[in-house]
Structure 1
Amino acid sequence: MNKTDARYRVVLEQRKGMRSINLQELWEYRDLLMFLVWRSIRVRYAQSLLGVGWAIVQPLFSMVVFTIVFGRLAKVDSDGVPYAVFSFTALVPWTYFANALTESAGSLVSNANMIRKVYFPRLVLPLSAVVAKLVDFSIAMVMLFGIMLWYKVVPTWGVLYLPFLVVLMMLTAAGIGTWLTALAIQYRDVHYSLNFVVQLLMYAAPVVYPVSLVPEEYRLLYGCNPMVGVIEGFRSALLGTVPMPWDLLGLGGGLSLFLCVTGALYFRSKEKIFADVA
Structure 2
Amino acid sequence: MTTPSDQLASSTGAPSAAALRIQRLAEEPLVSAGPERGFFKGTLKSVRDLSAYRELLGLLVRRELKAKYKDSTLGFLWTLIRPLTILVVYYVAIGKFLGAERSIPDFAIYIFTGLIAWQLFLEIVSGGTGSVVGNAGLIKKVYLPREVFPLSVVGGAVFTLATQFLVLAVALVVTGSVPTGSRLLFVPLALAVLLVYGTALALVLSAVNVYLRDVQYLVEIGLTVFFWLSPIVYSWELVQTAVTNETVQQVYLANPVTAAVLAMQRGLWVGGTDASFPPDLVPRLFIMLGIGLVLLWLAQRAFARLEANFAQEI
Superimposed CA distance per residue, residues 44-87 of structure 1 (whole angstroms, 9 cap, x where no aligned partner): 23421221111111111111111122222333378742211110
Q: Which residue of 1 aligns with 2:110?
A: 86
Corresponding residue for residue 223 of structure 1: 253
Tell me the alpha carbon deviations over residues 176-227 of structure 1, each in whole angstroms, 9 at most, x when there is no partner.
1111111111111111343333222100111111223334433332222211
1:122 paired residue number: 146
Distance (Å, rounded) in 2 between the aligned partners of 1:109 and 1:178: 12
* Aligned equivalent of 2:297: 261
Counterpart residue number, 2:90: 66
In structure 1, the residue matched to 2:29 is 10
Matches of 2:72 and 2:174, distance apart in 1: 28
Report the CA distance shift for 1:248/1:72 in structure 2 as closer, same or farther (over 3 A). farther
* Aligned partner (choices 228, 233, 243) of residue 208 of structure 1: 233
After TM superposition, list the pairs within 5 Å mapping 1:17-56 onto structure 2: 20-21=42-43, 22-56=46-80
Whole-angstrom distance in 2 between the partners of 1:210 and 1:78 = 12
Q: Residues 87 and 111 of structure 2 are in contact (CA less than 8 Å); yes or no, is this contact kept in structure 1?
A: yes
- The 8 Å contact of residues 92 and 140 in structure 1, kept in 2 or not, is answered as yes
**TM-score, structure 2 length as denominator?**
0.79
Please tell me the residue identity of whatever aligns with 2:97: L
8 A contact 1:180–1:190 mirrored in 2: yes
Q: Distance in 1 between matches of 2:308 and 2:33?
A: 9
CA contact (8 A) 2:104 2:235 kept: no
Letter in 2 for 1:272: A
State whether residues 61 and 153 of structure 2, in contact with CA within 8 Å, keep that contact through their aligned partners in structure 1.
yes
Offset from partner CA, 1:104-127 (integer Å, 9 cap, x none): 111111100111111111111101
Q: Which amino acid aligns with 2:268?
A: L
Does residue 201 of structure 2 align to residue 176 of structure 1?
Answer: yes
1:14 Cα deviation (Å)? 5.8
Question: In 2, are the aligned partners of 1:226 and 1:251 still within 8 Å (CA)?
Answer: no
Task: Tell whether the 8 Å contact from 2:34 to 2:308 is kept in structure 1 after alignment.
Answer: no
- The RMSD of aligned alpha carbons is 2.4
What's the counterpart of residue 269 of structure 2? 239
Deviations 1:125-184 (A, max 9, x none): 101101111111111111112222333212132224433332222112101111111111
Q: 1 CA distance for matches of 2:74 and 2:224?
A: 24
Residue 158 of structure 2, aligned match among 119, 129, 134: 134
User: How many residues are aligned here?
Assistant: 272
Work out the CA distance in 1 between the residues paired with 2:102 and 2:290.
28
